[in-house]
A = this chain, B = another copy of it.
């Protein structure tokens, strides 16, 4: 077995270390020389690119266009929206100077004190402020609305404790920023986009999610309502995977963005913003992978099928490889991404382990006996099963198999998630479930920030969301005993 695999920490022993090992050893990402910043390696970036392509098409299909706004935001912009400044203008990278000069003492370069900026610039932690300052010039009348912009960008939040993909100082994301003539239209947009995210998570990533509203405590700074998709990881902790905010008229008021409405009256513009980030990479990895490595859903796998020749000597290698090449060409014609690994300097056992580690959904192996008998071995990464099948009809079979694996990965995660949804009616039960089982705990809550805050302090669990489809149900708050109209979802989370 490959050296890398031997060193993969066991998931059941140390989930956190298993995750970190996996990210590094599968070649997805690694830490860099800059604290809190990471390098996304080619294999990891290839998955992110597939995510981007799919999401970008979904955004365009719902009428959005891409644009690009500045990396830097003047410091004063953050003070304009009262809640936003509390949430975002704190832990961030501040540019104070614009020039270096040679050290007079000959030790490299130093900051030139004469090149101090009049006003400091903040590296964007999110772009509402600079974008609404721009929209001010784009909007005069209801005819200029809606504006449906998205931006693919890097952002920086100076996190003190970082984890690859889940929480890093710099990360990649997209942020949609839309402007509307009416409150109703903006709310509809925020709801549309959280549904797009849920669709992507479930149908591309194979990760089931719960769509709901954040409690006021957990809302985006400056939002009137935050919608979220919440996913469950295999260790029973929740991961917030995407959010969509109804911003009301808060940013329009902060940046004085008014328009003439259909009735000819001046009004402030209504706004939404919504985003997902490279954090989705963390969700993807943690939701499906196992002790052999990554398990990737076929729709996001950079390599969907890997082919490995089994042989002794150059003659056999050449013959088997020729046949595999022909099959590869046929699969590629159908839009399947195939890698034929005919390296002669590593054993096939090493290759098997390597592609398991990298989560390639389907592995084909062929030896001289297969060549003679017209057969081939197919192995599935998700179930770790294999079978020998005829080469005849292989392309159809693989196309079907990729769909089957995509569905199986989702269904497995869904079944796990459903087993981890536990309704509780007392605070003792609540704490016991959190400690012994984890997962989503469905409990009544009195709706106050104070209760939520105390539960968080005492148990480290937060309200992940108030599900949009939560049925009405009379009950009493597990903490305060006050009346409640529906259960909300609590969990410990990343």
Contacts and interface: CB of A to CB of B under 8 A. Distances in A.
Contacts of A158: 98-99
Interface stretch (A84-92, A218-226, A467-475): A84-92
A90 B85 contact: no
Nearest to A33: B133
Given A66-B45, A66-B49, A345-B143, A170 B99 contact: no
Q: How large is the interface on A (under 10, 10 to 19, 20 to 34, 35 or more residues)?
A: 35 or more
Contacts of A137: 30
A34 B73 contact: yes
A368 interface: no
Nearest to A110: B75
Nearest to A168: B70
Specify how many copies of this chain sit in the oligomer. Answer: 2
Contact of A90 (B72, B77, B101, B143): B101
Contact of A111 (B40, B120, B149): B120
A488 interface: no
Nearest to A48: B68
Contacts of A111: 75, 94, 96, 120
A46 B71 CA distance: 19
B85 A91 contact: no
Contacts of A49: 66
A139 interface: no
Contact of A149 (B32, B42, B67, B130): B42
Chain B CB count within 10 A is highest, among A94, A108, A143, for: A94
A57 to B, nearest CB: 12
A45 B90 CA distance: 31
A94 B92 CA distance: 13
Interface string A137-153: 10000010000010001
A437 interface: no
Given A85-B108, A95-B95, A134-B32, A72 B37 contact: yes
A94 B91 contact: no
Interface in A44-86: 45-46, 48-49, 65-79, 85
Interface of A: 30, 32-34, 37-42, 45-46, 48-49, 65-79, 85, 89-101, 108-109, 111, 120-123, 130, 133-134, 137, 143, 149, 153-154, 156, 158, 170, 172, 345
Given A33-B74, A33-B133, A70-B170, 9 more contacts: A34-B72, A37-B71, A42-B66, A79-B108, A90-B99, A90-B100, A94-B96, A95-B96, A96-B111
